[in-house]
Amino acid sequence: MGALRTRMIEKMKLKNFSPRTEQSYVSAMVGLVKYYRRSPDQLGFLVRKTQMLVSPFTVYRPFSHRCVG
């Protein structure tokens, strides 16, 4: 994950992310790599596939049921 991590950090530095945000994002990426047991370049496909499987079951509340006050 060395080259991708370095590129990710460089892009975050160019966009002026705070050091804590950089650390959080890199930590999240490491967590995904450990969870899926795949290299980071293969994760994009797996994450999109998971989102497609989960999204039809996501329940959205209509605006009329939200509390106004």
Range of the domain at 30: 2-55
φ and ψ of 61, to 5 deg? -90, 135
Count of residues in the chain: 69
Number of domains in the chain: 1
Single pTM value for the model: 0.60
Q: What percentage of residues in the chain have a pLDDT greater than 90?
A: 19
Q: Per-residue pLDDT tens for 20-41?
A: 999 988 888 888 888 888 887 7
Say if CB 9 and CB 22 are below 8 A apart.
Answer: yes
Question: In this structure, are residues 59 and 48 in contact, taking their beta carbons and an 8 Å threshold?
Answer: no
Residue 61 belongs to some domain of the structure: no
Give domain status of residue 12, yes or no. Answer: yes
Domain-located, residue 8: yes
Within a domain: 64: no
Residue 60 lies in a domain: no
pLDDT greater at residue 58 or residue 44? 44
User: Does residue 68 fall inside a structural domain?
Assistant: no
- 27 inside domain: yes
Quick check: is 36 in a domain?
yes
Please state, in angstroms and as integers, the Cα–Cα distance from residue 24 to each residue in 30, 37, 57, 66, 67, following that order.
10, 20, 28, 32, 33
What the block records as the tokens of 56 is 């039809």
